[in-house]
Amino acid sequence: MMTFRRAIVLAALLLTFIFILRTSHNDKRIRSADQLPKPKGVDTSHFHFSSDEHAKKGPPAPQATASYPSIIDTEAVAIPPSRKLSTQISLSDLRTQPLRTQLEYLFPYDPLSKFPAYIWQTWKTTPSSGQFEEAFREPEASWTIQHPTFIHEVITDDVAVHLLRHLYSSVPEVVEAYLALPLPVLKADFFRYLILLARGGIYSDIDTSALRSAIDWVPAEVPRSSYGLVIGIEADPDREDWADWYSRRIQFCQWTIQSKPGHPVLRHIVANITSETLKRQAEGRLTTDHKNIIEFTGPALWTDTIFDYFNDPEYFDTANKGNVTWHQFTGMKSAKKVGDVVVLPITSFSPGVRQMGAGEDDDPMAYVKHNFEGTWKPEHLRHIGEQQQEWS
């Protein structure tokens, strides 16, 4: 006869047997998964690792540091998460802090977070509008085709204002600066930094075409937790008269940027543009002259901000490793990683320019094609045809 005590013992034995069986089954599944071949379609030959051991062992845990070549030794680089002023802070107390601190608190940077699946573009009209230029339809559609699971938004000027007022309501001087900018090209430059700082994802100009998915821009073997910003080389003019064509000896591209929200580079450039815009406005120096746009909001400022970040002792061991300059990036054929920033070679975002060592559209490292048909800056991209003819 089954007594109550015997029933309890039998039930305990049964539960123990089920637990052991399930644990053994899971172990077999894990071992089988470890033995699976690497996924096909991801070419890592152009992203050199420091040794084959990393590829054999697979990506490290999120807390670990990736072991592939970088300009700065990754082990000597500390990328701290955003400092929080407190668990909660009143808006009045927050407003007493410097602008960069306010932005850091409102949009904290978490290096271990995922890249948001957003694609942001801006133009005068949306693709659903009858006024949308036919020249942009195929390039715009390519981003959706290559990223079917991403949220893809084309933001018009009117929508941008409302969106920024919502995102930056706690820092009204940012919105004030945006509204004060006298040219659409200035607003377009500023918007890309603002939307990526607040929401992250990918920004790309409306006249660009996605050649490959952003999932393939950096090999899967490189843990996503080890970087928060992906940029590309725009110009590498290795000749004596380089200053006649470009503003910097190495110039980083800002027509396509991928970022996690809150990245320090974005925080710094937003604070700089905001302060400079309001200063010029107060001094009556905001004009519609296109001169020096590249220095005010464009790729010259973007490039300077990135180099400032690379040489900031708050994030990098500059005392022992020395400064990062254009010398470390000239002639790049493979991607490099500096701290939490992945820098892609000129072919990745500028294929087919037929100069400065860029490959063609079918190059394995070609990810985004810029067609130079949107809002362009004369002093930034002047005489494109002449450059291609003379530099070829």
CA distance 164 to 47: 37
Provide the number of structural domains found in the chain: 1
pLDDT of residue 356: 85
Q: What b/e string do you get for 53-86 counting C-beta neighbours within 10 Å, with b at 16 or more?
A: ebeeeebeeeeeebbbebbbebeebebeebeeee
Q: Does pLDDT of 272 surpass 70?
A: yes
pLDDT of residue 9: 53
6 found inside a domain: no
> Dihedral of CA 356/362/365/366: which sign?
positive
Mean pLDDT over all residues of the chain?
Answer: 79
As a whole number, mean pLDDT of residues 157-177 equals 96
Give the CATH number, domain containing residue 364. 3.90.550
13 found inside a domain: no
The residue range of the domain holding 366 is 53-391
40 found inside a domain: no
CB proximity list for 337: less than 8 A, separation 6 or greater: 66, 68, 69, 70, 74, 222, 226, 227, 343
pLDDT of residue 34: 31
29 found inside a domain: no
37 found inside a domain: no
State pLDDT tens for residues 182-207.
999 999 999 999 999 999 999 999 99
345 found inside a domain: yes
pLDDT tier for residue 108 given thresholds of 50, 70 and 90: very high
182 found inside a domain: yes
State pLDDT tens for residues 301-352.
999 999 999 999 888 887 777 889 999 999 998 899 999 999 999 999 988 7
Q: Does pLDDT of 50 surpass 80?
A: no
As a whole number, mean pLDDT of residues 356-379 equals 76
pLDDT of residue 365: 92
